[in-house]
Amino acid sequence: MVLRVILDSLPDPVVLLSGRRVVVEANCAARELFGAPMIGRDLAMALRHPGVLDAVDAVLAGIESRSTEVTLPLEVPRSFNVYVAGMPEDAATGGIMAVLVLSETTLARRAEEMRADFIANASHELRSPLASLLGFIETLRGPASRDEAARTRFLEIMHREAKRMARLLDDLFSLSRVEVNEHVPPRETVDIALALGNAVDPLVMRAAERNMTIQIDASADLPHVIGDGDQLIQIFRNLVENSIRYAHANTTVRVRARAVERIPDIGGSGVAVTVEDTSDGIPPESIPRLTERFYRVDKARSQALGGTGLGLAIVKHIVNRHRGKLTIESERGRGSRFTVYLPQAARARPAAQKAG
């Protein structure tokens, strides 16, 4: 009992093994990481990574210690430094012959990947608008220096390009932040109806500019979900913004939240939030690629309407962090439906939501 209390106080996953590679004890962090029952079973029943099992077998065969780096194929892949140490045979260990400790390195790895991706993506996507700005500046300093009409037109284009670059950088930073923490599931509870209201309220005026309305259908007794309130607001805002941007003018964007008994392909009860619009629809061959970075069905139209090609990639990674599911359905000439499934929370008190 004392041993379990001591082990559970440690933040890193720790597993104690017998000489037959059977799990004698595992702390809370290890049980949460592997999920399946571990105590009294061969380690391979919970952790099948050959690199880890080889290190354990080597230590049980007499090697003093062994370490290795592994990436475990969990719901969201996570990286660890694994250290295995043997116990002296004459120690009063109660049958424990090896200690396995996993120190997570996911955050450091993702931060490094984020820096590399950010530089590559920013340099590629900013090259075209920067070239345009330089061309307009040269024209304004030369042939159009005294042409009032040309100067007004070029300044408007330059302003539009600068705003697009600012949006692109904001979305890149947002995507990077989401990816860095994707392996850490949220633990708060969120009131979906409140989150939807906070997401949609700032978009009402934008919809009105195209003579569009936003209709929310969410019952007051919806179960709360496990989530990060700010990130869920970001999901719903991105989806509704996309509908406002690409749907037909003079139509309604419908947002519906409902309880579901089972989340497709995942299981467990939850809440499904669907954003539906009336638009030209999406070609079937494009649907699987919509959540890729910078993928656009019609690049010229997307850029003209202010899209960065990152909105749905951000949605996908936030949904992954919430251990949920995103589905996309579309019918040419009729419209599209984006549905986000989120696991239901066991407790009822919601976390504070930030408006705006």
Pair (100, 176) in one structural domain: no
Pair (322, 254) in one structural domain: yes
What CATH number is associated with residue 48? 3.30.450.20
Q: Is 183 in contact with 323 (CB distance < 8 Å)?
A: no
Pair (221, 271) in one structural domain: yes
Indicate the residue type of 138.
Answer: E
Taking only the tens place, the pLDDT of each residue in 106-133 is: 777 766 766 666 666 666 667 777 887 8
**Residue finishing a domain among 184, 200, 226:** 184
User: Most confidently modeled of 29-33, 107-111, 213-217?
Assistant: 213-217
Pair (22, 76) in one structural domain: yes
Pair (141, 230) in one structural domain: no
Pair (214, 267) in one structural domain: yes
**What is the reported pLDDT for 349?**
42
For residues 117 and 243, the model is more confident at 243
Pair (350, 282) in one structural domain: yes
Neighbours of 24 (CB within 10 A): 18
Q: Is 13 in contact with 83 (CB distance < 8 Å)?
A: no
Pair (225, 84) in one structural domain: no
**Residue finishing a domain among 147, 167, 184:** 184
Percent of the chain whose predicted confidence (pLDDT) is above 90 = 35
Pair (23, 150) in one structural domain: no
Task: Count structural domains, the chain.
Answer: 3
Lowest mean pLDDT among 40-49, 153-162, 170-179, 300-309: 300-309
Pair (67, 129) in one structural domain: no
Provide CB contacts within 8 A for 247, sequence distance 6+. 212, 253, 277, 278, 279, 335
What CATH number is associated with residue 121? 1.10.287.130
d(CA 212, CA 282): 20
- Edge-to-edge strands, sheet with 325-331: 213-218, 252-260, 270-276, 335-343, 325-331
Give the chain's mean pLDDT.
83
Pair (86, 24) in one structural domain: yes
Domain limits at 179?
Answer: 106-184
Whether 355 shows a pLDDT value over 50: the answer reads no
d(CA 139, CA 114): 37
For residues 115 and 70, the model is more confident at 70
Quote the Cα angle for 57-58-62, to 5°. 115
Provide CB contacts within 8 A for 88, sequence distance 6+. none
**Residue finishing a domain among 39, 71, 104:** 104
**What is the reported pLDDT for 348?**
42
